[in-house]
Structure 1
């Protein structure tokens, strides 16, 4: 291995590590607020990438019908709850807004000249379709069992992952897809040229990582969201809505996932089931951070990306084994170093 090859591998490792860092922070974000390990986080990545590719091909994406169907279920659940509680007028306005948004997306997707739209508009449409799926999934699946044990939440999260993979196969088909790059420019640093897509990934990832850290560590709202994970009853007594916190974190997680998919779609071909491996590598980074520290999770995910890149050169057959074996020493160390506290019933 010479210096040029090392630089190329380092570029790939940093690019992949930046995406893994975003997913690690998403998993950490959802877990610290709701105690849910978001196994289907990778599916938001594939949904974002494949939806963007569908729009660029000029085809109306079937994802809009999934959005409409979940919105109708959400409204039906709200109506049933309103019939029991009596808060019908206020709920009627919310239902009108939700249905109006879903219908508007159907109209836009069916009428706009999708292939000829500017790439920025295509990206915004993709986010507008994928991001609402996060809070809808929380409302329909996790909110009714929010007080359940962590094991139950994990099993349900795995079930949601399997369901979303199957739905992705129905919506996008088994073929892989890759989108057009944002630009063809590049940045030359010695013998290595960083293409524009790599720079986009690095810049956006860095901005999101810093923003998340500052939000949860330095703002009152971020600390309020984290308080719901420590003591849900105490948070409610202090006026913090656990339901709103759950929806907000799932929306943020789906936004990060969809944006990550849009960023990496020009770099690699993604399939309907590609999200699980990507998410799992982000999970390794989150475990390195102890499911508690945002900077450590980001650093761990970046290390995963670099180790994966160099493993492809030295032992490409075993690169996945090498990456996922990293989780074992960190689990052993944290198990031995930290006190065990029984989960509150």
Structure 2
């Protein structure tokens, strides 16, 4: 291996690591606030990328119909809950997010989607289609059992993953897609040229991480999520709605996942099931961070990306095995240094 190959592999590793960092941070956030190991995080990667790919090619994506169906199911569940508790005050807000928004996007889609639509507008509209699925999934699958044990929530996550995987095949098909690069051209750095897309991905990842830091440190909702992550019962006693916290957390996770998929779609062919492996690598980074530390998760994600890139050169057939085997020594190390305790009652 000469220096040129080394730098090329390093570029690929840093690019992938930036995406894994975003997914790892989303997984840590979801687990800290809701105690859910969010396995379906990868599905939002595929949904975001495929939605954008369909729109770039002038086709209406299956996300339009999927969002409408999910919205109807969500509203019906909220209606049953309101009837059971005889509290109708939540219905107007539920109708706005679960019915009005999906119907508006459904009616607007034919006017927005065409092959001549600017890429930035496609990105915004694709995010508007995918992000609402996050809180809807939380309302349908997780909110009714929010106080269950971590094991039960994990089993539900597996079920949601398979359901979203099947829906991805139904609504997007088995064909692979790519999207145009956000930035064209190359930047010469020494003996190699780095693509402008790489810098765009790194810059976007940095901006998102800084935005999350400002959100949690400077806003009321961010502090509410931090309080819920520290102590769910204490947050409830202080008047913070854990349902609101969970819904907001899943909204952020869906946004991060969808945008991550759009960032890698120009360099990787995306299929309906591609997001699972990408999400698992973000999960490896989250495990390195102990599902609690955002900085360690980000550093671990860069390490995972670089390890994957160099493994693809030295042993391409075993690169996935090498990456996922990394979990074993990390878990062993953490098991020796962690005091086990029962889940909160």
Which bin holds the TM-score, normalised by the shorter protein? over 0.9
Instruction: Report 1:239-258 matches (<5 A).
Output: 239-258=239-258
Instruction: Report 1:157-168 matches (<5 A).
Output: 157-168=157-168
**Does 67-76 or 18-27 show the bigger shift?**
67-76
**Any conservation in 2 of the 1:178–1:266 contact (CA below 8 Å)?**
yes
**Any conservation in 2 of the 1:135–1:247 contact (CA below 8 Å)?**
yes
Report the RMSD for the aligned CA atoms in angstroms: 1.5
**Does structure 1 residue 290 correspond to structure 2 residue 284?**
no
**Any conservation in 1 of the 2:60–2:113 contact (CA below 8 Å)?**
no
Partner of 2:60: 60
**Any conservation in 2 of the 1:224–1:240 contact (CA below 8 Å)?**
yes
Q: What is the DSSP-based 3-state SS (H/G/I as helix, E as strand, rest coil) of the residue aligned with 1:115? A: coil
Partner of 1:80: 80
Q: What is the DSSP-based 3-state SS (H/G/I as helix, E as strand, rest coil) of the residue aligned with 2:115? A: helix
| 1:208 Cα deviation from its structure 2 partner | 1.4
Partner of 1:183: 183
For the structure 1 residues 100 and 215, does the alpha-carbon distance in structure 2 shift closer, same or farther, using more than 3 Å as the test? Answer: closer
- Structure 1: 5+ residue runs without aligned partners? none
**Does structure 1 residue 152 correspond to structure 2 residue 152?**
yes
Partner of 2:101: 101
Give CA-to-partner distance per residue, 1:66-94, whole Å, 9 cap, x none: 10111111111222222233333552354
**Does structure 1 residue 201 correspond to structure 2 residue 201?**
yes
Q: What is the DSSP-based 3-state SS (H/G/I as helix, E as strand, rest coil) of the residue aligned with 1:114? A: coil
CA distance in 1, matches of 2:108, 2:40: 27
**Any conservation in 1 of the 2:82–2:90 contact (CA below 8 Å)?**
no
Partner of 1:116: 116
| 1:220 Cα deviation from its structure 2 partner | 5.6
**Does 132-141 or 74-83 show the bigger shift?**
74-83
| 1:43 Cα deviation from its structure 2 partner | 0.4
Q: TM-score, normalised to structure 2's length?
A: 0.96
Partner of 1:235: 235
- Structure 2: 5+ residue runs without aligned partners? none
| 1:316 Cα deviation from its structure 2 partner | 1.1
Partner of 1:192: 192
Q: What is the DSSP-based 3-state SS (H/G/I as helix, E as strand, rest coil) of the residue aligned with 1:148? A: coil
CA distance in 1, matches of 2:293, 2:93: 39
**Any conservation in 2 of the 1:209–1:298 contact (CA below 8 Å)?**
no
Partner of 1:225: 225
Partner of 1:276: 276
**Any conservation in 2 of the 1:18–1:302 contact (CA below 8 Å)?**
yes
**Any conservation in 2 of the 1:114–1:122 contact (CA below 8 Å)?**
no
| 1:28 Cα deviation from its structure 2 partner | 0.3
| 1:321 Cα deviation from its structure 2 partner | 1.1
Q: TM-score, normalised to structure 1's length?
A: 0.96
CA distance in 1, matches of 2:317, 2:85: 59
For the structure 1 residues 113 and 139, does the alpha-carbon distance in structure 2 shift closer, same or farther, using more than 3 Å as the test? Answer: closer
**Any conservation in 1 of the 2:59–2:113 contact (CA below 8 Å)?**
no
CA distance in 2, matches of 1:73, 1:152: 22
Partner of 2:13: 13
CA distance in 1, matches of 2:137, 2:93: 21
Partner of 1:132: 132
| 1:130 Cα deviation from its structure 2 partner | 0.4
Partner of 1:39: 39
For the structure 1 residues 245 and 96, does the alpha-carbon distance in structure 2 shift closer, same or farther, using more than 3 Å as the test? Answer: closer
CA distance in 2, matches of 1:255, 1:292: 20
Give CA-to-partner distance per residue, 1:245-276, whole Å, 9 cap, x none: 00001000000000011111001101111111
